[in-house]
């Protein structure tokens, strides 16, 4: 039930606009043969891309039970860790694919809610002017409730989406019964015949056909939430049959009433059911949007953990589930861009032109990363790896190339969003590298420093000092400032480095690396995966039994608050250094991100030129 509600909300709402865009494009003559051919292409696209590629192959490439492009990227990069150049290329490609996810996160809510609201036009043409305002109102309500958390809302996702799939299946069946000959389109013969007879038209139409697999990436992204079996069962027993019945029902309606092409989905419903279907479609669209918004929160936190974005304000909306988070900046940033998209494009048909490039690029990247996983991680023979992925790559590339035709009609929009996010991520990653190089160049060896200090030790005061440092084995600036200004040293001193790894989870048995430095000083490395929730005080509780126990009442946390000064040098371009300095300045406090107690944190600042 959970998989039906969360995983399939997006692909389940594609019936609102996919058929309408293909037949309403004006590229294909309206004949029974063409209707059979297009429906056959729909069915076999769902079968090949979703059933075979994602459900059968990609779901097998789990990273410690986790899925999604970030998990696949981590798996692929680890598999070629002995090939640094190839690894760098894969990281860049994978991060760019992740950036395109944000473009998808703008287009999908906009097109699904607009597609649902356009049912008002079928009820009465008088409602046309209300479609955009009502869409914006629904969007505002959706983003406003995000801060309350998705736990209470999520319980209703499964049942409502199940009702949605039942409703679209029933609508499809009622028209298939009237014209059962439409079922002939299940044969791949009609798809092949259409493509063979109209190769140019078929290529152009792939840009609209891809709308039927919107949300396919969610199958893999939500692997860690539900596991393979529920996702597969939900697809084969509920989602795929319902989608197929509805698409074929729309085809049967079009054979009987060609004028229904202006909105075949809503015109399938009898007059008495129009308003309930608009309400149900809106609920399904909101659920599809909610799943994607929640995904944006999760992906952003993972990217922060991997070091490609600065720390952001992350609010936990559940005391039991650490995965339920709310990021205000991401939430309202998405809302603003979605409003811009709705106001600019104003209809699902116009947005369909913008849709596709981001999705098909991510599909291509997923296929490419899958090759490296099965070749270098699973150690399958080269010929088998090529055979398993080359056909998928060819199909994905055909969809990608077709969507490039829509580049100037609106396809540029998600690319601009993805490109903007990529500039931010790459600038932050390069800036952090330059900053760490500068810190290492000026760093003092910790062991040598402590030996010199304890030749004539300063006054020791009661309590424990925890010094956060980016590099183990180096003297934190906060320690230098503390000795210089306060001229004291605590009884117990911990030098703590938080290290993030390119794996989803790091277990408690591998959380800490501890080294005694003598004189009640300890070097501690805390390890986290990109899906772990950083909590330094909780992690340090594991020191109990190693000769060092923390008392929360007598422990102070010392952090260095660096101010970055851009300079004209051989680092980055001047505008990128200024951008990095601004991002660094606006990053949320490390104390909040690492969940340090507010009343026990001491921050000491310094200026660093890069």
Instruction: State pLDDT tens for residues 89-134.
Output: 999 999 999 898 888 888 888 888 998 898 888 888 888 889 999 9
Residue 417 belongs to a domain: no
Residue 582 belongs to a domain: yes
Q: Are residues 319 and 442 in the same domain?
A: no
Q: Are residues 336 and 478 in the same domain?
A: no
Query: What per-residue confidence (pLDDT) applies to 319?
Result: 58
Residue 507 belongs to a domain: yes
Query: 601-609 and 555-565: which strand pairing?
Result: parallel
Q: Are residues 391 and 484 in the same domain?
A: no
Residue 433 belongs to a domain: no
Q: Each residue of 131-166: pLDDT tens digit?
A: 999 999 999 998 998 887 655 555 677 889 999 999
Query: What per-residue confidence (pLDDT) applies to 523?
Result: 94
Q: Are residues 154 and 259 in the same domain?
A: yes
Query: What per-residue confidence (pLDDT) applies to 305?
Result: 85
Q: Are residues 442 and 388 in the same domain?
A: no
Residue 429 belongs to a domain: no
Q: Are residues 331 and 475 in the same domain?
A: no
CB 156 within 8 A of CB 1: no
Last residue of a domain, one of 360, 391, 410: 410
| Range 490-503 average pLDDT | 90
| Range 532-543 average pLDDT | 90
Position 322 confidence tier, pLDDT thresholds 50, 70, 90: low
Indicate which CATH number applies to the domain containing 101.
1.20.1740.10
Q: What percent of the chain has pLDDT over 70?
A: 97
Q: Across the strands, what pairs with 528?
A: 500
Query: What per-residue confidence (pLDDT) applies to 318?
Result: 64
pTM of the model: 0.84
Position 442 confidence tier, pLDDT thresholds 50, 70, 90: confident
Residue 415 belongs to a domain: no
Last residue of a domain, one of 410, 429, 446: 410
Contacts of 589 (CB under 8 A, 6+ apart): 311, 603
Q: How many CB atoms lie within 10 A of CB 485?
A: 9
Query: What per-residue confidence (pLDDT) applies to 478?
Result: 86
Position 528 confidence tier, pLDDT thresholds 50, 70, 90: very high
Residue 416 belongs to a domain: no
| pLDDT winner (highest mean) among 19-33, 148-162, 259-273, 596-610 | 259-273
Q: Are residues 559 and 497 in the same domain?
A: yes
Q: Are residues 531 and 400 in the same domain?
A: no
Q: What long-range pairs does 144-147 form, CB within 8 A, spacing at least 24?
A: 146/293, 146/326, 146/331, 147/315, 147/317, 147/326, 147/328, 147/331
Main-chain phi, psi angles of 473, to 5 degrees = 85, 5
Q: Mean pLDDT in the chain?
A: 88
* 241 burial level (CB within 10 Å; 0-12, 13-18, 19+): middle
Position 320 confidence tier, pLDDT thresholds 50, 70, 90: low
State the Cα–Cα distance between residues 417 and 423, nearest whole angstrom: 10
Give the residue numbers spanning the domain of 98.
2-410
Closest among 429, 371, 374 to 88, alpha carbons compared: 429
Q: Are residues 531 and 594 in the same domain?
A: yes
Main-chain phi, psi angles of 461, to 5 degrees = -110, 155
Q: Are residues 345 and 474 in the same domain?
A: no
Residue 420 belongs to a domain: no
**Count of domains observed in the chain:** 2
Q: Is a pLDDT exceeding 90 seen at residue 495?
A: yes
Q: Are residues 357 and 462 in the same domain?
A: no
Give the side-chain half-sphere CA count within 13 A for 483: 15
Q: Are residues 399 and 445 in the same domain?
A: no
């Amino acid at each position: 039930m959970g998989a039906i509600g969360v995983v399939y909300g997006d692909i389940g709402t594609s019936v609102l606009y996919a058929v309408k865009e293909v037949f309403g494009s004006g590229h294909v003559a309206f004949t029974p043969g063409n209707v059979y051919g297009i429906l056959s292409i729909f069915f076999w696209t769902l079968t090949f891309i979703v059933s075979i590629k994602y459900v059968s192959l990609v779901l097998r490439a789990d990273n410690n039970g986790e899925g999604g492009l970030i998990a696949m990227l981590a798996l692929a990069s680890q598999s070629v860790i002995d090939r640094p150049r190839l690894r760098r290329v894969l990281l860049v490609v994978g991060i760019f694919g992740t950036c395109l996810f944000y473009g998808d996160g703008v287009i999908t809510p906009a097109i699904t809610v607009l597609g649902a609201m356009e049912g008002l036009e079928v009820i009465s043409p008088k409602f046309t002017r209300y479609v955009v305002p009502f869409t914006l109102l629904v969007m505002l309500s959706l983003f406003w409730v995000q801060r309350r958390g998705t736990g209470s809302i999520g319980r209703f996702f499964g049942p409502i989406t199940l009702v949605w799939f039942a409703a679209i299946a029933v609508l499809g069946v009622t028209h298939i019964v009237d014209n059962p000959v439409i079922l002939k389109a299940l044969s791949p013969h009609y798809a092949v015949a259409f493509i063979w007879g109209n190769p140019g038209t078929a290529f152009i139409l792939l840009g609209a056909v891809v709308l039927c697999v919107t949300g396919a990436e969610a199958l893999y992204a939500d692997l860690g939430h539900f596991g393979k079996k529920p996702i597969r069962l939900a697809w084969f027993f509920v989602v795929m049959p319902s989608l197929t019945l509805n698409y074929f029902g729309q085809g049967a309606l079009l054979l009987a009433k060609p004028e229904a092409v202006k909105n075949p989905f809503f015109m399938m419903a009898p007059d008495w059911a129009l308003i309930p279907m608009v309400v149900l479609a809106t609920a399904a669209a909101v659920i599809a949007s909610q799943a994607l918004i929640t995904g944006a929160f999760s992906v952003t936190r993972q990217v922060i953990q991997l070091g490609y974005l600065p720390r952001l304000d992350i609010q936990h909306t559940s005391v039991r589930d650490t995965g339920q988070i709310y990021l205000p900046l991401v939430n309202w940033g998405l809302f603003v861009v979605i409003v811009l998209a709705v106001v600019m494009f104003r209809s699902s048909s116009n947005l369909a032109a913008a849709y596709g490039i981001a999705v098909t690029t991510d599909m291509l990247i997923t296929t490419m990363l899958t090759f490296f996983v099965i070749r270098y991680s699973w150690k399958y023979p080269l010929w088998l790896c090529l055979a398993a992925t080359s056909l998928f790559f060819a199909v994905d590339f055909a969809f990608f190339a077709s969507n490039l035709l829509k580049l100037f009609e609106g396809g540029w929009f998600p690319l601009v969003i993805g490109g903007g996010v990529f500039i931010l991520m790459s600038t932050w990653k390069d800036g952090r590298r330059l900053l760490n190089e500068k810190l290492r160049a000026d760093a003092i060896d910790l062991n040598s420093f402590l030996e010199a200090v304890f030749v004539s030790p300063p006054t020791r005061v009661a309590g424990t000092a925890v010094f956060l440092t980016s590099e183990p084995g180096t003297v934190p600036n906060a320690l230098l400032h503390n000795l210089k200004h306060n001229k004291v040293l605590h009884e117990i001193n911990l030098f703590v480095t938080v290290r993030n790894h390119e794996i989803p989870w790091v277990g408690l048995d591998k959380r800490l690396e501890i080294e005694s430095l003598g004189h009640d000083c300890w070097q501690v490395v805390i390890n986290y995966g990109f899906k772990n929730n950083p909590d330094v005080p909780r992690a340090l509780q594991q020191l109990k039994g190693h000769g060092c126990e923390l008392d929360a009442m007598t422990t102070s946390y010392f952090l260095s608050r660096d101010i970055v000064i851009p300079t004209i040098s051989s680092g980055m371009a001047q505008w990128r250094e200024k951008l990095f300095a601004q991002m660094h300045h606006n990053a949320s406090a490390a104390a909040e991100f690492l969940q340090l107690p507010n009343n026990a944190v001491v921050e000491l600042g310094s200026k660093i030129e890069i």
